[in-house]
């Protein structure tokens, strides 16, 4: 029996009703509520979010926005920038990711943009490059420690690019441990808390710095990911959630 599949297009009126993909079962948490407020502000900037529902269960989603408003450290004017693309569990291997990509590509074409941009990584918290390369994207740039800039062009305009001042971006946060964060991901409040608590236990001065708009992310973030980062003594330790034991090991090893 074929599954019943629906793709939901989110807007300011239905996002509360349907609940977005991540933390959907934890709607009262700080992370969920901060992400919800962040989303509502982004719809006015052209944000689109789509969720694949199979037999009543959400199995995938995509979030994208015009590059000028993108929350990644990338210069991508007049392109559509994909923030997230995930297909999980029983939804994998059924073509849902490609279907979502097709919708984004068609939307970008209809808006007269030059192409579609995606920051990918071979590590965590970002989609790998495989699905994009299979759907007409090409690698146009890279950034440390593991980021690829992927682009599907519609015109001959110059492709998007990463900045080249990563060392300076990291050094600006100075000595001690700094957690750079935004509200784009509902997992971030827990990641902030764990990082700061770990630093306190180790006697390391620590603080949190919030980036509150796309411009700050594009021009200040210590990594291409943009949304989150842990910097220690002016060097990036991680752009993603770390468990206390993993962060402790990095700090004790003098990373």
- CA angle in degrees (0–180, nearest 5) for 162-167-172: 110
Distance, in Å, from the CA atom of 109 to the CA atom of 165, rounded to the nearest integer, reads 32
pLDDT in tens, the chain (255 residues): 788 999 999 998 888 877 766 655 567 889 889 999 999 999 999 999 999 999 988 899 999 999 999 999 999 999 999 999 999 988 999 999 999 999 999 999 999 999 999 999 999 889 999 999 999 999 999 999 999 999 999 999 999 999 999 999 999 999 999 999 999 999 999 999 999 999 999 999 999 999 999 999 999 999 999 999 999 999 999 999 899 999 999 998 865
pLDDT value at residue 47: 95
Give which of 144, 125, 118, 122 is closest to 222, Cα–Cα.
144
pLDDT value at residue 253: 80
Q: Is 213 helix (H, G, I), strand (E, B) or coil?
A: coil
pLDDT value at residue 26: 67
Q: Is 103 helix (H, G, I), strand (E, B) or coil?
A: helix
Domain coordinates in residue numbering, the chain: 5-153, 166-252
Tell me the HSE value of 42 on the side-chain side, using a 13 A CA sphere. 26
pLDDT value at residue 2: 80
CATH code of domain 5-153: 3.40.630.30
pLDDT value at residue 28: 81
**With a threshold of 0.75, does the pTM exceed it?**
yes
Q: How many residues does the chain have?
A: 255
**CA 163 vs CA 173, 224, 237: distances in Å:** 18, 8, 19
Per DSSP, the residues of 2-59 read PPPEEEEEP-TTTHHHH--STTTT-TTSHHHHHHHHHHHHHHTTT-EEEEEEETTEEE
Spatial contact of 166 and 235, defined as CB atoms under 8 Å apart: no
CATH of 166-252, one of 3.40.50.720, 3.30.70.20, 3.40.30.10, 3.40.640.10: 3.40.30.10
Residue ranges of E strands in the chain: 5-9, 48-54, 57-66, 79-87, 115-121, 138-143, 147-153, 177-181, 206-210, 228-232, 235-238
pLDDT value at residue 255: 56
- DSSP structural state of residue 111: T
């Amino acid at each position: 029996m074929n599954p019943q599949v629906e793709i939901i297009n989110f807007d300011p009126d239905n996002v509360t009703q349907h609940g977005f993909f991540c933390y959907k079962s934890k709607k009262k948490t700080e992370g969920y509520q901060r992400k919800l407020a962040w989303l509502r502000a982004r719809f006015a900037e052209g944000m689109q979010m789509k969720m694949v529902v199979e037999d009543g269960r959400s199995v995938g989603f995509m979030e994208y926005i015009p590059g000028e408003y993108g929350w990644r450290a990338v210069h991508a004017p007049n392109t559509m920038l994909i923030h997230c693309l995930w297909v999980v569990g029983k939804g994998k291997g059924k073509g849902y990711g490609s279907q979502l990509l097709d919708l984004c590509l068609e939307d970008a074409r209809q808006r007269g943009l030059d192409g579609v941009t995606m920051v990918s990584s071979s590590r965590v918290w970002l989609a790998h490059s495989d699905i994009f390369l299979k759907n007409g994207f090409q690698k146009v740039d890279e950034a440390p420690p593991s980021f690829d800039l992927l682009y599907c062009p519609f015109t001959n305009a110059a492709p998007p690019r990463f900045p080249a001042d990563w060392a300076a971006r990291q050094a600006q946060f100075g000595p001690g441990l700094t957690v750079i964060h935004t509200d784009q991901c509902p997992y971030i409040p827990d990641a902030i808390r764990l990082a700061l608590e770990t630093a306190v236990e180790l006697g390391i001065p620590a603080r949190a710095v919030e980036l509150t708009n796309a411009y700050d992310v594009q021009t200040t973030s210590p990594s291409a990911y943009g949304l989150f980062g842990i910097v220690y003594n002016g060097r990036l330790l991680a752009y993603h959630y770390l468990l206390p034991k993993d962060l402790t090991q990095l700090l004790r090893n003098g990373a």
